Every structure is written in structure tokens, then in C-alpha cells.
Amino acid sequence: MEIKHVMVIGAGQMGSGIAQVCAQSGFHVKLNDISEEALQKGLAGIEKNLNRSVEKGRMSEEDKQNTLNRLQTTTSLQDASDCDLVIEAVIENMDIKTKVFKELDQITPEHAILASNTSSLPITEIAAVTNRPEKVIGMHFMNPVPVMKLVEIIRGLATSDETYKAIEDMTKALNKTPVEVNDFPGFVSNRVLMPMINEAIYTVYEGVATPEAVDEVMKLGMNHPMGPLTLADFIGLDTCLYIMEVLYEGFGDSKYRPCPLLRKYVKAGWLGRKTGRGFYVYDN
């Protein structure tokens, strides 16, 4: 199946990055969000990244213009009616995602593949609200999307081989590396990463060390590019909490209980870099 026209839903940090790499690789992209403000912010981020690539000599001015010309923004989901692939990147909430997938199932052409960038939610459950579960798949990009090489591809129970192959090919066309995993809470990436981040938060909560000290231990001691608390702020503390809840509920195992300090920060609106405050303070 040939993919030419793509819609990306959600113009947050992930959706805007996904739209950028798709447009850069020659796909025609519609970036959708419920908020016009989010679209303008997403587009400004994309332009900034492309300008940096031009300054660094990785991209010509002409390629930048062509990339931007392939990118449109829209607040109407109806514009997905001519898309071959939709990649959903709205917030990590099953009710919102299933609502979007139900609508997309009505709007998109019969051949269209519906992918979710969910970081932990069951693809099988998202697929079950559509009449095309064989065409629903997880396409999990890593943050920051323009930089990170991995795309975790998650097969739901009914995902067809044809759908898997199309998404594997698309991932390679985006110059990224696909890794196939099965549909279990948190897949592989967040089943391994998020309990480490949660445990790092516990060490702060229990007074074992300051956030700076925890991050320094993991950076200098384990060669991680970012310490776990800097990374949690970067991912978004709301997203970290949603993922821990999915692991906790999905496996019913107390080892995944979210740290009370994580809950407290999210309740306070301290969501990390995106709101200017999390474990650290940022000037946005």
C-alpha cells in the first residue's frame, strides 16, 4: 500500500515532531489540533528546528521551503477524508483516544491505516472501537522525534501483516529504525524506562538525595544523556503519571505504584518543562 497523505493529530511536543519528520521525508502532512494556538505553537517549533538544520548546513533553504509547503494545519478532523495514514498523538487518555479513533473510522477512506503514538495504552482496546481493527497499529516515536532513531511498532491482537509491513516501510522512509513489540502495558520502552523514573522520584520523596544529585548519579555513573528527573520533566510529568497508572492497573502489581510526589506535582500543575516547572524551573 502506498502512503502519500498523512494526518497527525495533536500538535504538542510529539505531534509536531512527527509532522516535521513526515514532511521532511516527502509526505504531505496535515497537522490537526483542537486548538489553533497549539497549531501555531507546533508550527513555530517546526520552523525553528528546520532553520537550525539550514544554519548547520544539513538542509538547503529550498528543502526547508519544500518541507513547509508540504505541511498544512487544520482544526477539522474531516480533513482526514483523503489521508492514507493518520498518526494520533493527543494526550495519553483512553477516552479521548477512543473518541478520536471512532470519528476517524467514519471519516477516513477504507484503505487508511490508523496509528497511535500512545506510550502505554493497549492498541487492541483502541482498535476495538473501530470497524477496521486489522488496520490499527501502534507507532511509538521517541522524544525529541527529529533526533531519536527508534520507532516501537506495536501490533494489536487483530493488526494484519499488511498493516505492519506498511508501517515498517514508512518508519524506514522516515529514516528511523522500527522495532516490533507485542501489545502489553507500556510495551517495552516504558515498561523498562518509567519504573526507573518513578524510583528516581521515590529517592527524592524519601529524602535519599536531591533531584540534582539523583540526576548526577545517573549521568556520570551510568552515562545516561539526561538524568531521570530531567528526563521526566522533558517527557511531561502528566504523561509519566498516566503511564505509571497504565502499568499499575494493567499488571495489577504494586511494584508499579506511582510515587505520591509525582501525583502531587501533577495536581499542582507542575508538569515539567512544558509548564515551566517540574523537578526544575525553566524560563519558557
Q: How far apart are the first and last CA of the chain?
A: 42
Residue list 4-23, contact with ligand NDP (CB under 6 A): 9-15
163 binds ligand NDP (CB under 6 A): no
Beta bridge partner(s), residue 194: none
DSSP notation for 38-54: HHHHHHHHHHHHHHHHH
Determine which one of 190, 212, 224, 245 is catalytic: 190
What's the CA gap between 181 and 156, in Å, rounded?
10
CB 67 within 8 A of CB 50: yes
SS3 state at 58: coil
Look up 111 and say whether it is catalytic.
no
SS (H, E, C) 246-274: HHHHHHCCHHHCCCHHHHHHHHCCCCEHH
Look up 5 and say whether it is catalytic.
no
Nearest approach, Cβ of residue 42 and ligand CAA (Å)? 12
Cell output for 158: 487483530
| Residue 20, annotated as binding a ligand | no
| Residue 276, annotated as binding a ligand | no
Look up 198 and say whether it is catalytic.
no
225 binds ligand CAA (CB under 6 A): yes
Look up 224 and say whether it is catalytic.
no
Measured in degrees and rounded to the nearest 5, phi and psi for residue 248 equal -65, -50
Burial label, 192 (beta-carbon count in 10 A; 0-12, 13-18, 19+): exposed
Looking up cell 495519553 gives 92
Nearer to ligand NDP, 14 or 113 (CB): 14
Determine which one of 152, 199, 206, 224 is catalytic: 152
> Binding-site residue total for ligand NDP (CB under 6 A)?
28
35 binds ligand NDP (CB under 6 A): yes
Residue selected from 54, 102, 103, 144 as contacting ligand CAA according to rule CB under 6 A: 144
Nearer to ligand CAA, 44 or 148 (CB): 148
Residue list 96-155, contact with ligand NDP (CB under 6 A): 96, 100, 117-119, 140-141, 143
CB atoms within 10 A of CB 256: 21
What's the CA gap between 75 and 54, in Å, rounded?
29
52 binds ligand CAA (CB under 6 A): yes
Determine which one of 49, 119, 120, 198 is catalytic: 119
State the binding site for NAD(+): 10-15, 33, 92, 97, 119, 143, 274
**Residue numbers at the binding site for ligand CAA (CB under 6 A):** 49, 52, 56, 119, 142-144, 146-148, 189-190, 193, 225-226, 231, 235
* Chain residues in the site for ligand NDP (CB under 6 A): 9-15, 32-35, 38, 89-92, 96, 100, 117-119, 140-141, 143, 235-236, 239, 274
Binding annotation: 10-15, 33, 92, 97, 119, 143, 274
